Amino acid sequence: MNNKSHPSRLDRISTSWSLLAQAKTGAGDAATAARCLLVERYRGAVRRYLGALLRNDEEADDLTQEFGLALIEGKLAKADRERGRFRDYVKTVVVHLVSRHRKKQKRLPRQSEGTSQATAPTARESEQAFLQSWRDELLARTWEALAQAHADFFTVLHFRAAHPDLAVDEMSRALTPQLGKKLTAESLRQTLHRARKMFADLLLDEVAQSLTNPTHEAIEQELSDLNLLGYCRPILQQKERRPAPKS
């Protein structure tokens, strides 16, 4: 995978909005497959957010299942494609589920005098929790994609992330048995460089899937909003410097 391949991949990406349209208007297996793919993409972010919002693992698990079931059955709230970001839609749906859940809780008798509900987070805390959950899930999915695409790149880059201050010589010695081959300091630097480029490309793809129109400008803005731009800035800068194709 290299930088030149990225623009063509963006053209082929199924955005979450297009998948949602297929899930709502498609027929049979195609609609079911689109719904299941949407659940796969966003279940992790929803679970992270619900865990931070409710501060109760059992309730968070239950509402995450409810979210997935509602999505598979096509019962989610009306989407506003003009928003451009699928995360806004997902957040609206999840906040609605939480609000309905809390209303049900208020109607239930307390189990004991000492029982009290956790204090609901403020709007700002809720927004920050959602952005962090979305960011964490994008990174987790990107790491998973890197492991599937190139296991050695994953091993090297993940090791560097876990040991950011380790000297290259020490790192090469530690990684040699894991990779089953001897690494020189120079070959390790090259591998790290290529691994970072692949990770950035995969992260760009993950972000692009959540946008209505995944132009480079829209992707860069979303990366900035999610505090992920640092992972991809070198590749984006290379694309900006690349001369336009001759007509």
Contact 131, 226 (CB under 8 A): yes
**What does the pLDDT look like over 189-213, one tens digit per residue?**
999 999 999 999 999 999 988 888 8
In-domain check, residue 116: no
* Joined tokens for residue 95: 């906040």
Residues 220, 125: one domain?
yes
Which residues, other chains included, contact 207 with Cβ-Cβ below 8 Å and sequence gap of 6+? 138, 214, 219, 222, 223, 226, 228
Lookup result for tokens 């805390």: 125
Residues 61, 152: one domain?
no
Last-in-domain residue among 50, 78, 108:
108
In-domain check, residue 152: yes
Residues 39, 149: one domain?
no
Residues 137, 167: one domain?
yes
Report how far residue 104's alpha carbon sits from residue 120's, in angstroms, rounded to the nearest whole number: 15
Report how far residue 160's alpha carbon sits from residue 157's, in angstroms, rounded to the nearest whole number: 5
Residue 79 identity:
A
The crossing angle, in degrees rounded to 10, of helices 123-149 and 151-162 is: 140
pLDDT of residue 199: 97
Report how far residue 216's alpha carbon sits from residue 208's, in angstroms, rounded to the nearest whole number: 9
Report how far residue 200's alpha carbon sits from residue 117's, in angstroms, rounded to the nearest whole number: 41
In-domain check, residue 94: yes
Lookup result for tokens 């290259």: 168
**What does the pLDDT look like over 37-52, one tens digit per residue?**
888 888 999 999 999 8
Residue 216 has pLDDT above 80, yes or no: yes
Residue 4 has pLDDT above 80, yes or no: no
Report how far residue 53's alpha carbon sits from residue 129's, in angstroms, rounded to the nearest whole number: 7
In-domain check, residue 27: yes
* Joined tokens for residue 31: 């609609």
Residue 239 has pLDDT above 70, yes or no: no
**What does the pLDDT look like over 81-110, one tens digit per residue?**
566 688 888 888 888 888 888 888 887 765
Residues 236, 127: one domain?
yes
Report how far residue 23's alpha carbon sits from residue 14's, in angstroms, rounded to the nearest whole number: 12
Residues 132, 209: one domain?
yes
* Joined tokens for residue 226: 């999610």
In-domain check, residue 221: yes
Residue 217 has pLDDT above 70, yes or no: yes
Which residues, other chains included, contact 243 with Cβ-Cβ below 8 Å and sequence gap of 6+? none
State the total domains in the chain.
2
In-domain check, residue 49: yes
For residue 70, the enclosing domain spans 8-108
pLDDT of residue 1: 39
